């Protein structure tokens, strides 16, 4: 089965930045509040929370907790559950905002919708509510203002699943314009691979490598693209795609272009040097193996057919019926021209094989005797 594999390295950039991020944490107290809101028609009730969850503490204590849920965008101003609140209940985790200094890896890889690859803390951090009491030093960053491409930020300011050995869900709330470009560690490397089979409707796209302190990883990506087999195959073949028979998934070829293996197996391998796939860019040189082939026209079919007759061992002595069966099996390999192919009689084929052996200074093959011996015996019997 024909299968295409395309690979290339993913180019990355690295920055040290000041960011506000949301990190998923287990906060049983907040989750209890959210669940109570869900149970009471989706709206917070301070009296109910104070009496049932806070062991009769003052109503003001319940209101303070609800205000904190509002700050975390788990409820709206009417104390009604938001989508973030519903997701928190579903995941049993809450995004707690933090501000800190982070190492941030981004890419402009065309195949990745998510351009922010990974980030790791490199300095002090604090909950957003405690910023005034934090020890984050902005002096160094103030001197080195940077501009991360806006399109990368706008498309990634939501819940992300960072690439790495553990795909952790995070939120990027804000990337402040303080920071500097950092050197990429030589151990940081990423490779993206597209794998698509001839009969598949969707490719498998994977990202593998190492970023930051993560272990070696391989993530299967859920990406919507038009990179189905036929699109990629057409890009690879270029003008030769006109020789691709879509109904039978075979490539029409000239007999003279084939090596002996291709003539016998009706399969070839093809090397594609640095192929460009439409708007998706250039990939590493690749080899597509086991491409099914067929003759480009009748003349090539006839040459191929005669070559197989000369170079196929029948495996047994061919009397009249055996020889007809032998010819029939070879013809079946050329369904488009089965009835048109011209075959020599048994005696002529034996002579052709003998002549070829002499010309190539080779011993007579078993095939020759399988064809010639029955003829000799029949002539001797006469």
If DSSP codes are grouped into helix, strand and coil, which group holds residue 212?
Answer: coil
- Give me the pLDDT at residue 27, please: 87
168 torsion bin: left (phi>0), alpha (psi -120 to 50), beta (else)? beta
| 228-235 mean pLDDT | 91
- Give me the pLDDT at residue 131, please: 42
Express each pLDDT in 285-342 by its tens digit: 999 999 999 999 999 999 999 999 999 998 888 887 889 999 999 999 999 998 899 9
Question: Order of strands, edge to edge, in the sheet holding 244-245?
Answer: 244-245, 250-253, 286-295, 267-272
The dihedral through the CA atoms of 360, 362, 368, 372 has a sign that is positive
Question: Order of strands, edge to edge, in the sheet holding 3-9?
Answer: 3-9, 189-197, 204-210, 217-221
* pTM higher than the cut 0.95: no
d(CA 118, CA 44): 36
| 81-103 mean pLDDT | 88
d(CA 224, CA 280): 13
d(CA 167, CA 217): 10
* Cα 233 off chain centre by: 15
Domain extents in the chain: 1-21+100-225, 27-92, 228-296, 311-381
Residues contacting residue 268 through CB under 8 Å, at least 6 positions apart: 251, 253, 258, 262, 291, 293
Length in residues, the chain: 382
Flag whether pLDDT at 38 surpasses 80: yes
6 strand-pairing partners: 194
Residue 185 binned pLDDT confidence (cut-offs 50, 70, 90): confident
Residues contacting residue 20 through CB under 8 Å, at least 6 positions apart: 97, 98, 99, 128, 172, 173, 174, 176
Please, where are the H alpha helices in the chain?
A: 28-39, 46-48, 59-71, 83-91, 139-143, 150-154, 229-237, 260-265, 298-311, 320-331, 346-359, 366-381
d(CA 114, CA 84): 20
Express each pLDDT in 345-366 by its tens digit: 988 988 898 888 887 767 777 7
- Give me the pLDDT at residue 155, please: 60
Flag whether pLDDT at 168 surpasses 80: no
> How would you class 253 by CB atoms within 10 Å of its CB: exposed for 0-12, middle for 13-18, buried for 19 or more?
buried
Q: Residue 301: name the closest of 343, 337, 248, 263 by CA.
A: 337
d(CA 38, CA 90): 12
Flag whether pLDDT at 127 surpasses 90: no
Tokens encoding 222: 């859920």
- Give me the pLDDT at residue 158, please: 67
Name the helix (H) or strand (E) containing 333. none
- Give me the pLDDT at residue 203, please: 87
Cα 348–Cα 350–Cα 352 angle in degrees, nearest 5: 70
Least confident of 43-47, 149-153, 158-162, 168-172: 149-153
Helix axes 59-71, 28-39, angle to 10 degrees: 100
User: Which percentage of the chain shows pLDDT scores above 90?
Assistant: 31
| 240-263 mean pLDDT | 95
Tokens encoding 268: 């070839």
- Give me the pLDDT at residue 71, please: 87
* Cα 261 off chain centre by: 31
d(CA 260, CA 338): 22
Q: Residue 367: name the closest of 303, 294, 301, 317 by CA.
A: 317
Would you state the torsion angle of the CA atoms of residues 344, 350, 352, 358, taken in this order, to the nearest 10 degrees? 180
Q: Residue 310: name the closest of 297, 294, 292, 326 by CA.
A: 326
Longest CA pairwise span in the chain (Å): 122
- Give me the pLDDT at residue 143, please: 53
């Amino acid at each position: 089965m024909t299968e295409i594999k395309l690979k290339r390295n993913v180019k990355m950039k690295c920055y040290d930045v000041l960011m506000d991020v949301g990190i998923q944490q287990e906060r049983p107290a907040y989750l209890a509040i959210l669940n109570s809101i869900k149970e009471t028609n989706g709206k917070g009730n301070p009296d109910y929370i104070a009496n049932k969850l806070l062991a009769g503490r003052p109503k003001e204590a319940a209101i303070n907790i609800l205000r904190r849920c509002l700050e975390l965008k788990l409820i709206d101003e009417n104390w009604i559950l938001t989508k973030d609140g519903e997701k928190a209940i579903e995941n049993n985790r809450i995004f707690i905002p933090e501000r800190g200094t982070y190492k941030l890896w981004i890419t402009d890889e065309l195949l990745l919708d998510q351009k922010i690859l990974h980030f790791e803390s490199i300095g002090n951090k604090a909950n957003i509510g405690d910023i005034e009491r934090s020890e984050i030093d902005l002096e160094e960053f103030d001197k080195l203002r940077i501009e991360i491409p806006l399109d990368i930020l706008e498309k990634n300011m939501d819940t992300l699943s960072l690439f790495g050995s553990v795909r952790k869900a995070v939120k990027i709330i804000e990337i402040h314009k303080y920071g500097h470009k950092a050197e990429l560690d030589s151990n940081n490397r990423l490779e993206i691979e597209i794998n698509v089979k001839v009969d598949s409707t969707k490719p498998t796209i994977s990202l593998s490598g190492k970023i930051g302190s993560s272990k070696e990883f391989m993530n299967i990506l859920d990406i919507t693209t038009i990179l189905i087999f036929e699109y990629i195959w057409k890009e690879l073949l270029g003008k030769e795609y006109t020789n691709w028979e879509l109904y039978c998934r075979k490539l029409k070829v000239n007999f003279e272009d084939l090596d002996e293996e291709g003539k016998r197996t009706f399969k070839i391998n093809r090397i594609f040097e640095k192929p460009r796939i439409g708007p998706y860019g250039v990939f590493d040189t690749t080899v597509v193996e086991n491409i099914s082939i067929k003759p480009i026209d009748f003349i090539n079919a006839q040459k191929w057919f005669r070559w197989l007759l000369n170079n196929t061992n029948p495996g047994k002595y061919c009397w009249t019926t055996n020889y007809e069966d032998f010819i029939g099996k070879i013809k079946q390999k050329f369904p488009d021209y089965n009835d048109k192919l011209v075959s020599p009689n048994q005696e002529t084929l034996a002579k052709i094989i003998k002549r070829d052996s002499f010309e190539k200074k080779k011993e007579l093959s078993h095939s020759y005797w399988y064809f010639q011996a029955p003829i000799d015996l029949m002539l001797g019997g006469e």
